[in-house]
Structure formats: C-alpha cells, structure tokens
Structure 1
Amino acid sequence: MLAKEFKTIVLPLSNKLLRFALQFTKNEEEARDTIQDVFLKLWQKRNTLEGIENIEAFAMRMTRNRCLDLYRGKHTYSLEDQTDSWQQKRKGDLNEELELSETATIIKRLIGELPDLQRQVMQMRDIDQLSYDEIAENTGLNINAIRVNLSRARKKIRTELLNYQDYGTAKNKTNTAQLF
C-alpha cells in the first residue's frame, strides 16, 4: 500500500477510532496516544494491509487490543504484595490441612470403636469403595442388611464427631468465659 492509499483508506478512520478508544480509556489524551500507536502499527504493516478484507474492522480490533494492553499495564501489583498474599494463603492452607488431619485421626479412631460388622461394612463401602453386591459376596449378608449396618455406622460416626466438635467449642467458650 502506498502512502496515498494509506491516507485515503486508513486516516479517515481516525475520528471513529478515537471515539472507540475514548469508550475504553475515558481520557482523551490516552485515547489519542492509543490511536497514534495504532496508526504507527498500521503504517508498519502497510504492505500486508492489501490482504485484509476489512481494514476498518482490523483497525478497530487493534485499537481495542491496545486499550486493553494499557488497562492491564495500569493494574500491576508489587512483588511484595504478591508474596504477602501467597504467604497468607499458605498459612490458611496449613491450618486447614492440620484441622483435616486431626479430623481424619478422630474419624479413624471412631471407626475402630464400631461393632465389628458395622466397621467391616463401612470399611468395604466407604474406604475400599466396593459395591453393595461385592460386599454381599464377601460378608454373606443381603443388601438390605448391608444398607442398615452402613447407615447405623455412619450415623454413629457423625454423632460422635459432632459431639467431639461441640465439646471442643463449648470447652473453648467456657475457658474464654473464665478468663474474663
């Protein structure tokens, strides 16, 4: 594309591109700078513009992308802020991991205290993830008996775990009340 063609095809788009850039930047100076950058890139690509079917759409896309680049550049975060954020998240993860580990230990202990049949059925279904049919083959129980034993085992574990957690909360509230 020659300079004359560039002036007649691309430069008349300037007002439309400026209005479009203003919608993104909300600042006339930034919008004008953006259009200047777009025209510079279009001039640098002038030899390949003949292969583009709709130059106006291409220029609009370039304007939008340039505005988005400027927007992203304004929203940078310092390395210190990122590091602090990561460390806070890691501390939360460690605390959560510790709580889950403690809860898992309590659940294992509670499963160990179940009657043999309930413990065996719970082990096979919830830990080994066997189907009801496979459990029936291994234990000789019918499927309804397996469901009943599993339901009772889960209910007992749930109740004991909630009691344990409520006791800890109640104990903490009592200790706090005694301090004040």
Structure 2
Amino acid sequence: MVASDFKTRVLPVSKKLLRFATHFLKNEDEARDVVQDVFLKLWQKRNELAHVENIEAFAMRMTRNRCLDLLRANKVVPIDAETDRKMKEESVDVHSQIELSESAGQIKKLIDQLPDLQRTVMYLRDIEQLSYDEIAEATELKVNAIRVNLSRARKKVRDEFLKMNSNGNTRSKTIAATLF
C-alpha cells in the first residue's frame, strides 16, 4: 500500500477511532495518543493491509485493544460528560433538563460498571451505531453473541436504573423508556 492509498483508505476513520478511544479512556489526550499509535502501527503494516478485507473494523479492533491495555495498566478511568452534553443540547425546561442530566450521569455510571465486553458492544451499537456485522468484525464475536451481550447490557442498565430511582416516581420510568 502506497501513501496515497493509506490516506484514502485508512485516515478517513480517524474521527471515529478518536470518538471510540475517548469513550473508553474518558480522556481525549490519551485517546489521541492511542489513535496515533494505531495509525503508526497501521503504517508500519501497510504492506499487509492489502489482505485485510475491512480496514475500518481492523483499526477499530486495534484501537479497542490498545485502550483496554491502557485501562488495565492504569485501572483509573475518570468519567466523562459526553452523555450529559448530549442531553443538554435538547430543548427541555430547566427542571427536566436537570433531571435528565442526573439520569444520564447515573446511566453512564451504570454502563461503566458493565463487564468490558457488554460495555464495548453497547457502545459500538448504541453510540457509534455500527451494524452487527461491523461489531462482529471489530470484536471477533459472532452476531448472536453480540445480540445476547447487548440485550443483557441494556437490561442490566435499565433494571439498575429503575432500582436506583424506584421511589414510586413514574417520571423515572418515563426517562428510562426515553433513554432505552
């Protein structure tokens, strides 16, 4: 693969890789370092990339693995406010906005408590909106395993959220229905 092929086939996925790494690491600077490492490794293996069918999925898998390596090494991950930011963009009254913000923060914490595999599958499907086949390529799982893990992750987050907010508040159920 020559430099021009690399620029047209590999570099366009940089924003997606950065979002993916930022979601995992909760730190944009570390995420940028990860993406840079991934691109460096891809460049070093550019002659072997001709044999890779889906370079985007391959790069996503490399990014995921590098992020997991960093997380395992550090074991400390600050929580980001991406979900909170997205909720604030919606036009809702102040009270509802505060309630949604708190709920989103609770849900983000619940998602972060999921096992790595469930958290990854949920992020790829619900945030990045990848197809099941693309997730299968990125995670090396079968589509049925992805569906099962996604279903379990969503159910666990929904049940824990409702349990946290089960003070007879029908508003919590409405929020849960809106978010899930």
TM-score category (smaller protein): 0.3 to 0.5
Return the index of the structure with the highest Cα Rg: 1
Q: How high is the TM-score relative to the length of structure 1? A: 0.42
Higher helix share: 1
